């Protein structure tokens, strides 16, 4: 499998294995590579992304010129690793004043609201990556029939707890922030607490199940 490895700052490398669509197999290999790297004394931090991996090295323990070859060798030898994280249920209220895109989203999908909600809550999602903002989960597993391209003009304040759709991905807002994703529901679950250990509720490889708490159509 062809990958691109590029320098990020003075001591970090980005391994990019992304293709035109997200691959669960590639993501499993990303997690396997990350697991191997976390056990090395010359690696300071490993951050899995969506079919990519950011690795920060301790250049006091490894020569800068050796980092790219090391990363490529570990990637080439890594076997896909099935997620071994926890599973958390997230109760969601679909629609209502805090989920103003529900009707447009269902219409875009050519479904009734009831059917769109049922399909959204049916899969067991996998946390492919945590990023963009503290605690934000990029979820794989969305039914392709529910995909909807991002808004042309992002909202400047999508509320904390918003359950959202962006392209072929599902997500949840851990805090109020700008976003171009479509708001279809809301949860009261807190995804990020700076005082908790760890502060993020989810880690890459965890599973998530949306549970229908109500539909305000």
Q: Do residues 71 and 158 share a domain? A: no
- Per-residue pLDDT of 158-167, as tens digits, reads 999 999 999 9
Q: Do residues 60 and 105 share a domain? A: no
CATH number assigned to the domain comprising residue 33: 3.30.1360.40
Does pLDDT of 128 surpass 90?
Answer: no
Banded model confidence at residue 132, pLDDT cuts 50, 70, 90: confident
Number of folded domains that form the chain:
2
Does pLDDT of 135 surpass 80?
Answer: yes
Higher pLDDT, 181 or 82: 181
159 located within any domain: yes
197 located within any domain: yes
**CA separation, residue 131 to residues 29, 48, 170 (Å):** 19, 9, 14
Q: Do residues 47 and 122 share a domain? A: no
CB 18 within 8 A of CB 12: no
Q: Do residues 53 and 143 share a domain? A: no
Does pLDDT of 217 surpass 90?
Answer: no
Q: Do residues 107 and 185 share a domain? A: yes
pLDDT of the residue at 55: 97
- Per-residue pLDDT of 51-73, as tens digits, reads 999 999 999 999 999 999 999 99
Banded model confidence at residue 19, pLDDT cuts 50, 70, 90: confident
Host domain of residue 115: 87-216
133 located within any domain: yes
Q: Do residues 68 and 102 share a domain? A: no
Banded model confidence at residue 170, pLDDT cuts 50, 70, 90: very high
Q: Do residues 96 and 201 share a domain? A: yes
Higher pLDDT, 177 or 204: 177
Domain end residue (candidates: 22, 53, 77):
77
Q: Do residues 118 and 71 share a domain? A: no
Domain end residue (candidates: 24, 57, 77):
77
CATH number assigned to the domain comprising residue 166: 2.40.100.10
82 located within any domain: no
41 located within any domain: yes
Average pLDDT over residues 111-131: 94
pTM of the model: 0.83
Q: Do residues 70 and 175 share a domain? A: no
Mean pLDDT of the chain: 93
151 located within any domain: yes
Domain end residue (candidates: 50, 77, 104):
77
Q: Do residues 134 and 48 share a domain? A: no
Q: Do residues 179 and 210 share a domain? A: yes
Q: Do residues 49 and 12 share a domain? A: yes
pLDDT above 90 as % of the chain: 79
């Amino acid at each position: 499998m062809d990958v691109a490895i590029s320098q990020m700052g003075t001591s970090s490398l980005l391994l990019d294995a992304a293709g035109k669509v997200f691959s669960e197999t590639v993501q499993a290999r990303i997690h396997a590579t990350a697991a191997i790297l976390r056990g090395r004394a010359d690696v300071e931090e490993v951050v899995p992304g969506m079919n990519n991996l950011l690795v920060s090295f301790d250049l006091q323990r490894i020569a800068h010129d050796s980092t790219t070859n090391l990363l490529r060798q570990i990637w080439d030898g890594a076997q896909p690793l099935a997620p071994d994280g926890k599973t958390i249920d997230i109760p969601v209220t679909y629609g209502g004043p805090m989920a103003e895109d529900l009707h447009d989203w269902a219409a875009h999908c050519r479904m009734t609201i009831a059917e769109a909600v049922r399909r959204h809550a049916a899969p067991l999602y996998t946390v492919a990556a945590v990023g963009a903002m503290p605690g934000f989960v990029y979820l794989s597993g969305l039914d392709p029939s529910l995909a909807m391209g991002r808004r042309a003009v992002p909202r400047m304040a999508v509320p904390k707890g918003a359950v959202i759709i962006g392209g072929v991905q599902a997500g949840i807002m851990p805090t109020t922030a700008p976003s171009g994703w479509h708001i279809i529901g809301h949860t009261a679950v807190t995804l990020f607490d700076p005082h908790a250990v760890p502060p993020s509720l989810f880690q890459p490889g965890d599973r998530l199940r949306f549970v229908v708490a109500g539909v305000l159509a």
